[in-house]
Each structure stands twice: as C-alpha cells, then as structure tokens.
Amino acid sequence: MIEEALQERAKLVDEAIPKFLPVTPPDEMYHAMRHLLNAGGKRLRPSAVLLAAEAVGGKPENVLPAAVAIELIHNFTLIHDDIMDEADLRRGMPTVHKKWGVPRAIIAGDALYSKAFEILSCTRSEPQRLVESLELVSKTCTDICEGQWMDMNFEKRKDVTEDEYMRMVEKKTAVLFATALKIGATLSCANREQSRALWNFGIKTGVGFQIYDDVIDLITPEEILGKAQGGDIIEGKRTLIVIHALSKGATIEALGKNNATRSEVSAALTALKESGSVEYAMNKAVGFVEEGKDALKELPDSEAKNLLRGLADYMIARKY
Amino acid sequence: MIEEALQERAKLVDEAIPKFLPVTPPDEMYHAMRHLLNAGGKRLRPSAVLLAAEAVGGKPENVLPAAVAIELIHNFTLIHDDIMDEADLRRGMPTVHKKWGVPRAIIAGDALYSKAFEILSCTRSEPQRLVESLELVSKTCTDICEGQWMDMNFEKRKDVTEDEYMRMVEKKTAVLFATALKIGATLSCANREQSRALWNFGIKTGVGFQIYDDVIDLITPEEILGKAQGGDIIEGKRTLIVIHALSKGATIEALGKNNATRSEVSAALTALKESGSVEYAMNKAVGFVEEGKDALKELPDSEAKNLLRGLADYMIARKY
C-alpha cells in the first residue's frame, strides 16, 4: 500500500518537473540540469512535502512547486557531490561532470539551486509562510554544506566519534528531509506544533535513513548498485559502520586506499560484518526510525499520517 | 565626492559582513567563504542596494542585509568562476580552490549562495515585497548561470555576433547589478515605476561596466591587475573587443591558445588596438552608461539620485 501511495505521489512530481523546469535556451544547460532528474528515483523527499501537507489538512497540489523545489535541491547536491567524489556513475548513468565536464556540471548544479528558490517562491501561500519556508530552505542548504565539509574533514581523521558522525549526518542528509516535511506543513497553514512534529519526524527518520543507506551501499553488489561496491570504503568515508568497527579495533586495510583491489574491498566488508558493525548500524537505523514515528503522535489521525509511518518503515525496508 | 560617498557605503557593508556571516563551526569553511570577501573590493553592488533605497526615500540601514546578500552572491560566482577558469589569482591573492582545493571551493561557493538567501530572507520589509525580492534574486542567479554557460559556448565559436554577446553579458553581469538596485527599491516601498527605472539603470550601466571591464582587463599590466595580462585572450573569451576585431578580419593568434607566449599575447593586444576594437568597445561602454543615466529621470531629484549618476560614471572612469 505504501509503495502504491508513494508511486502516485512520485508520478505527480515526475509530471510537474518538466512543467516547472522546461528546457529553454541555452538548451544544453537545461538538459544537464535534468540529466539526473530524468533518471527517475523514488522522489521520497518531494513525496514527503505532499504527505506533510495532507497530514495537516492541506491540498498536495498546492505545495507541488515546493515539492519540485526540494527535489531540485537534492539533485543539485548530487551533481556537486559527484564532482567532489570524482564519481563516474550514478543510478547506472554517467554523472553530469562525466558527460558535460566539471565546469558545466558546477553551473548545472548552481542553476538547479537557483531554480529551486525561484519555483519555491512561486508557491501559492500566505507571504509570511512563504518567507519562513524560503528562509528554512536556505538555512538547510547551508547546513548541507556544513555537513559535507565535516564529512570531508572526517576522511583525514581516525578518531571521529559517533556523536560527531550524528551531527554530520543530521546536517548532510536529515535536515533536507525534515525541511521537506516542515515546508509542506507550513505552506499548508499548519500550526507550530504540527510543523515541529513533522520536523522531528524528518530529522530522526532522515538520520536513520542515512545510516541504513550507508549499510545498503556497502553490502549491495555492483550490478544492482549501478556503481562500484565499497566506494565509501575506498574514499575513506567515516560511516557509522566504520566508526563502530574502528572503535572495536577492527583493521580495514582498504579504508581510504584509492587503489584498493576488489579482494581488499571484499576483506574490508568481511571485517565490518565480523566486528558486528553492520548489524550495529542496522539496529541504530531502526531505532531512529522508530523514534521518528513516535514524533507523529502530535498529529491528528489521518490516512496521510499512516502513510508517513509507512514511508518511515519503507525507508529502511529495501534489501538493496 | 562620489568616491567618498561610495567609501562610506562600502564601510557599512564591510562592517555588516562579519555580523551577518560570522565564523562558526566548521570554522575553516567560513574562512574559505570569507576569503575573497576579506580581500575588500569596492562593494559597488551592495552600495547600489543602499543608494537605490535612499533614492526612493528609504533608509539604507534597513536594506543592509539585502546589500550583504548581493555581495555574497557576487562572491559565490567569483569562487565558482575561478574554478571553471582554473584561475590561480584574484585581487592579487590565491583563489579559493587554489588555497582549499576544488571540492572545498565548490562547497564554499554553495554555502555563500545559501547564506545570501538566508540573510536576504531576514530583511525587515513587508512579506510580499520580501517574496518578490527573493524571487527576483533567484531568477537572477539562474540568469547568471545561463550567461556563464553561453560564455563558455562562445569560446568554441568563431561567429559570435554582437547581439549574442549583449544577451550573454546582460545575463552574466548586468542582471545582478540591476537586481541590487531593484531590491533596494522594492524592499523600501518603492512604486513599480521607480523599481523599473532602477532596474533599467542597472541593466544599461551593468552592460557598459562589463564591456569596460573587459577593456581594462585587457590593457592593464600584470603588476596592477594582480593576475596575468591577456587572460581573456588565452582563454578564448569572446569579449566585445574580440568580436569586433574578428568581424574586421583581424588575426589574433593567441586567442584560445593555452600556451601562448607573452610576445604572442602582446601581439594580440596590438592587433586589437590597431583594428580600432578597443576604442569601439570603450565607446559602446560609454554609450550604455549614458542610456542608463537617462533611465533615472523617472526618479524624484535627490542626493542619492545624483550619487547613482556619479556611480555610473565612476564605473567606467578607472584607468586600470
């Protein structure tokens, strides 16, 4: 049921994207901006905007521009992240900088960023609520940058604590999901308590999702993942799994080793499983999602509220 | 007189920058964001915000956040442009990516971008006027990206027309200056005619300024410029000077030649002068600035209006 409900909302978002982001001159720039967007994806963040609106009694179609804006911001971060990570593939397709070169990928990302604000500012709502939403989204983008910067700092360190990791992942991932939910509510005339509940739901499930995502990224075979397995290991990313394993004294030879062989990556995966770190991270992810669902008790009962609970479970349900 | 008036306003902006953009964790990211900002500069764009507010009877201090936001956006474009141009120096200092590396420079730019919107959204004004300003600024950032993309496309072409150049330069440079003026007015309760007059003033003088800037960039010796002379030539930039020279059948061997020697660059400069292209561009710049000043006749007479006229002249007055 949740999958069907999400597909319905993803369809709304898919149809809205070309409407709000038409290809205009210089055409090639807009093709570059739409490259990853066209590759599909589950549209969890924009669907969260729509569901949050519904959960506070609003109409999802009224916040559709805000939903598209959130998806554009997500895609902007992917384009710039891929440049920074020198990633060749995303969703089984060449990354934007791989196809258009780094300078144009930087611009395509920047343009998605501004388009997001442009589209968001056209959402029909009370001006004061619109200003609040624009302010929150911009603050969130700053947080994402801070999280990304922290993440890069971590790669050079051996002593990153779980607390530091949690702060990083909250900024890098969770705030955008929480913002999606909060602006969906705010733009739909939610009261403060409702907006806050949805924000808390977003932060907790967002952190849980990122931890889970790191696990899946680690254990999924290349042919399903659409990119090389163990990329986080090779890049030296301090995921919760790695932080836990290091604290348990595990040896991970391939960590941060650019030229690690397949068998070294494979040995690292085994070490991370044997130290119990994969299971530890999985359990943490589930715990956060449960806390997130708890936050929803502030909202009146509704189908949308049930769907949000379903969404939270869904975020940590996929096997790969 | 105009220089003193601009210095006064630049001082207000200089003092406001650390207030609106304090260094907070991760500190190093904020140092990277402030790197070019700290290098000073004339603050023409933020001063334009303040002057526009004054010209429509508003208080400059009320639009100070908007002024800082415009300066941040300008600096964000500089950081990303320097990455794309692989420039080592700016204002005689190492560029951000030279000092912090490309990935961190991308983030520092992105963070300035979001901080700009964050700061702008905190300007005290009627919410409706704030939404209009946020929408305009975001649209302008999209225009800047389009202009930058067009500029890059031009580098591969021999047949760029003057019209195409004008459209590019309007997007890449003029709209931000026009936006600075328009939001200064809009946030200060200007009427539509006043806002439009300031926008037109900004577009015309902005185009004139860019044409003039390209000339100055071309003819200024390295020790004054703070970076290698003839950089635009080597990069193959289609400036108005180059477009005019090519249309006159001039030969510019160094154009787009990465490994051009100093004497080749010097020969290119001579060719551009002899074809009358430097003078042609200078005259065009002056013409645009005069048109811009004309647009101000819609505004009531005031000291600020006189200063805006002075600013326009000043923009094409510096010898180097």
Q: What pLDDT score does A317 carry? A: 87
Q: What pLDDT score does B91 carry? A: 85
Q: Give the count of domains, chain A.
A: 1
Please report which confidence band the pLDDT of residue A230 belongs to, taking 50, 70 and 90 as the band edges: confident
Contacts of A118 in chain B (CB under 8 A): 135, 138-139, 142
Looking at CA atoms only, how far is residue B243 from chain A in angstroms? Answer: 20
Distance, CA of B124 to CA of B121 (rounded, Å): 8
**Torsion sign over Cα A51, A52, A53, A54:** positive
Instruction: Confirm whether A172 is domain-assigned.
Output: yes
For range A299-320, the mean pLDDT: 92
**Alpha-carbon separation of residue A220 from A105, A224, B2 (angstroms):** 28, 7, 65
Instruction: Confirm whether B158 is domain-assigned.
Output: yes
Q: What pLDDT score does A320 carry? A: 62
For range A184-206, the mean pLDDT: 97
Instruction: Confirm whether A288 is domain-assigned.
Output: no
Does ipTM come in above 0.95? Answer: no
pLDDT in tens, B213-261: 999 989 988 888 777 788 889 988 899 999 999 999 998 999 989 899 9
Instruction: Confirm whether B286 is domain-assigned.
Output: no
Mean pLDDT of chain B: 94
CATH number of the domain at B116, please: 1.10.600.10
Q: At what angle do helices A64-85 and A2-20 cross, to 10 degrees?
A: 90
For range B284-302, the mean pLDDT: 97
Please report which confidence band the pLDDT of residue A318 belongs to, taking 50, 70 and 90 as the band edges: confident
Instruction: Confirm whether B34 is domain-assigned.
Output: yes
For range B291-304, the mean pLDDT: 97
Q: What pLDDT score does A1 carry? A: 83
CB contact under 8 A, A145 and B83: no
- Beta carbon pairs, A and B, within 8 Å: 146
Instruction: Confirm whether B85 is domain-assigned.
Output: yes
pLDDT in tens, B101-133: 999 999 999 999 999 999 999 999 999 999 999
Quick one: tokens of A133?
């939403």
Contacts of A138 in chain B (CB under 8 A): 114-118, 121
Please report which confidence band the pLDDT of residue A226 belongs to, taking 50, 70 and 90 as the band edges: confident
Q: What pLDDT score does B258 carry? A: 87
Q: What pLDDT score does B1 carry? A: 83
Structural domain including A102 reads: 2-209+297-315
Instruction: Find, in chain B, the residue whose alpha carbon is nearest to that of A86.
Output: B103
Tell me how far apart the 2 most distant CA atoms of chain A are, in Å.
58
Please report which confidence band the pLDDT of residue A184 belongs to, taking 50, 70 and 90 as the band edges: very high
Contacts of B163 in chain A (CB under 8 A): none
Contacts of B141 in chain A (CB under 8 A): 110-111, 113-114, 117
The residue whose two tokens read 């070490």 is A271
CB A217 within 8 A of CB A235: no
* pTM, to two decimals: 0.93
Q: What pLDDT score does A273 carry? A: 93
For range B136-152, the mean pLDDT: 97
Residue ranges with strand state E in chain B = 89-90, 93-94
Mapping DSSP onto H, E and C, the string for B174-191 reads HHHHHHHHHHHHHCCCCC
The residue whose two tokens read 């005689």 is B92
Distance, CA of A291 to CA of B157 (rounded, Å): 58
**Greater pLDDT, A45 or B319:** A45
Q: What pLDDT score does B320 carry? A: 62
pLDDT > 90 fraction of chain B, expressed in percent and rounded: 86
Instruction: Confirm whether A258 is domain-assigned.
Output: no
Please report which confidence band the pLDDT of residue B174 belongs to, taking 50, 70 and 90 as the band edges: very high
Note which residues in 103-132 of chain B have CB less than 8 A from chain A: 103-104, 106-111, 113-118, 121-122, 126-128, 130-131
CB contact under 8 A, A111 and B84: no
pLDDT in tens, A27-72: 999 999 999 999 988 999 999 999 999 999 999 999 999 999 999 9
Distance, CA of B218 to CA of B236 (rounded, Å): 13
Instruction: Find, in chain B, the residue whose alpha carbon is nearest to that of A84.
Output: B103
Closest among A52, A49, A27, A9 to A299, alpha carbons compared? A52
Asked whether residue B192 carries a pLDDT value surpassing 70, the answer given is: yes
Q: In the beta sheet, which residues pair with residue A89?
A: A94
Asked whether residue A228 carries a pLDDT value surpassing 80, the answer given is: no
Instruction: Confirm whether A276 is domain-assigned.
Output: no
Instruction: Find, in chain A, the residue whose alpha carbon is nearest to that of B153.
Output: A26
pLDDT in tens, B27-76: 999 999 999 999 988 999 999 999 999 999 999 999 999 999 999 999 99
For B61, which DSSP code? G
Q: What pLDDT score does B71 carry? A: 98
